[in-house]
Structures are given as C-alpha cells and as structure tokens.
Amino acid sequence: MRILVVEDELPIADFVCRGLEAEGYAVDHSTDGVEGERLAVAGDVDLVILDLMLPGRDGISVLQGIRRAKPGLPVILLTARDAVGDKVQGLDSGANDYVTKPFSFDELTARVRAQLRGPVQGESTVLEAAGVRLDLLSRQVRRDGDSVDLTAREFELLAYLMRHPNQVLSREQILNAVWGYDFDPGTNVVEVYVGYLRRKLSRPESPAPIDTVRSVGYRFADR
Ligand code: CA
C-alpha cells in the first residue's frame, strides 16, 4: 500500500511519514500543491493525506483536481483546529475524511486503515477488552455497558493502551504515540491522564484495567 503525504510543515510531514513507514506503508511526500496533485493523479498511490494550507496550490483545489482524475482515490484532509468552514468545503469537494491538527498518530492511522479497508469491514475498528468497548470511528467508549465521556486526548490514550493489551508501554512510547510532535519530554502528562482515565473507567466492583508497572510504564490488563 502506497500513501502520498502532501504537507509543507516539515515537523508534521516527518511525524506522519516516519510513522506510516513504521506501520509498513510505502510513503511518498510532497511539500507543495502543484506537485502533490501531479503525484496523486499520475502516481501509483492508494491513499492521499492532504494538508489544506499549501504553497503553490491550496488543498481544496488540489482535492478537486484529484477528484476529477481519480474519483475513487481515498483522500484524508489535515485541517487546522478551528477551520470548520474548511472541513465542510473539503467534504463537499469529495474528501473521504479529515483529521484536525494537532492529531495523534493513532487517530490518523485509524482513519487510514478504515479508508484502505473500505466500509464493509468498518466494524473491526472497535476495540473490546476487560469490559471496555471503544469505537475508533464513532469515538464512543463504554465500560460494562455504561457510556463513558472522554476528552479527545483521554480517548487517544485509551485507544493506544487497548491496541497493545497486556503489554507494558513506557511513558516515552505513550508520549510519542498519543501526544506526537506536540509534547514536552519533561512533562508528567502521561501520569495525569492515566489518572483521569482510571477515575472514569473504574466501577465499584471492578477497578480500571490499567496497571502501573513500577519505573517502567503502564499496561492495559485484559484479565
Ligand atoms: Ca500547511
């Protein structure tokens, strides 16, 4: 599977490209709209990740060019946090999905996998273990059947832990996967968010299934 990343901000492009390569995808990268559109249309790519704010040619017009040439090629947009109009215009112009910056790598790859698999197997984007059910696309979480309200970051953290059940994940691994390019390495944000998650997931008769492994990290325990 080959993915084209069209993004001019190099730290973000780097984070996305290296992460996708680590997941086993072949990755092409372009930093401008004109070249990005040419590669998407002429190249042999299975999916495009397209930033909307690009030099050369803006993302919406790149998207329209791709749609004219390749109506079936999945395109995921990267949009700025508050650019609601961009999302609407992007989806109207034929984007399949979008991710809002700053995003975690887990959130992006869930959307990439969903597009590459097609809608038929969409239900396999649900993670379920230890009484916790997490739907990566609708972003709903349940504990023992009760709905649990999580913030976007809490959701990403839980999804990452649940993707690696019974595996000890270090604080650095968690920071990289969930906070991505946006974190300060000296922060105690992982401890703080694990605390939030435990509080929201625990029930009187069943504690939250997140273990602390002393001086190593954390583990989602699928007992
Ligand atoms: Ca940009």
Long-range contacts of 138-147 (CB under 8 A, 24+ apart): 143/200, 143/201, 143/203, 144/203, 144/206
Q: Is residue 187 a contact partner of residue 174, using CB atoms and an 8 Å limit?
A: no
- Centre of ligand 1 from the C-alpha of residue 54, in Å: 5
- Centre of ligand 1 from the C-alpha of residue 119, in Å: 29
- Centre of ligand 1 from the C-alpha of residue 9, in Å: 5
Give percent of the chain with pLDDT exceeding 70: 94
Task: Report domain extents, the chain.
Answer: 2-116, 126-220
Please give the single-letter amino acid code of residue 42.
A
- Centre of ligand 1 from the C-alpha of residue 169, in Å: 32
pLDDT at 49: 97
Rounded to an integer, what distance in angstroms lies between the CA atom of residue 76 and that of residue 111? 8
- Centre of ligand 1 from the C-alpha of residue 109, in Å: 19
Closest CA to 47 of 105, 114, 112: 112
> pLDDT tens for residues 132-171?
999 887 889 999 999 999 998 899 899 989 988 999 999 8
Q: Does position 27 have pLDDT exceeding 60, yes or no?
A: yes
Between 83 and 19, the higher pLDDT residue: 19
- Centre of ligand 1 from the C-alpha of residue 31, in Å: 8
pLDDT at 33: 94
- CA distances to 35, 132, 167, 174, 201 from 144, rounded to whole Å, are 50, 6, 22, 25, 9
Q: Which range, 17-21, 84-88, 115-119, is most confident?
A: 17-21
Number of Cβ atoms within 10 Å of the Cβ of 82 = 8
Q: Does position 120 have pLDDT exceeding 50, yes or no?
A: no
CATH topology of domain 126-220: Arc Repressor Mutant, subunit A (1.10.10)
The CATH code that applies to domain 2-116 is 3.40.50.2300
CA atoms within 13 A on the CB side of 174: 28
Q: Is residue 68 a contact partner of residue 95, using CB atoms and an 8 Å limit?
A: no
pLDDT at 183: 63
pLDDT at 172: 83
The span from the first CA to the last CA of the chain, in angstroms, equals: 35
pLDDT at 36: 95
Number of Cβ atoms within 10 Å of the Cβ of 102 = 17
> pLDDT tens for residues 45-97?
999 999 998 988 889 999 999 988 888 899 999 988 667 777 778 888 889 99
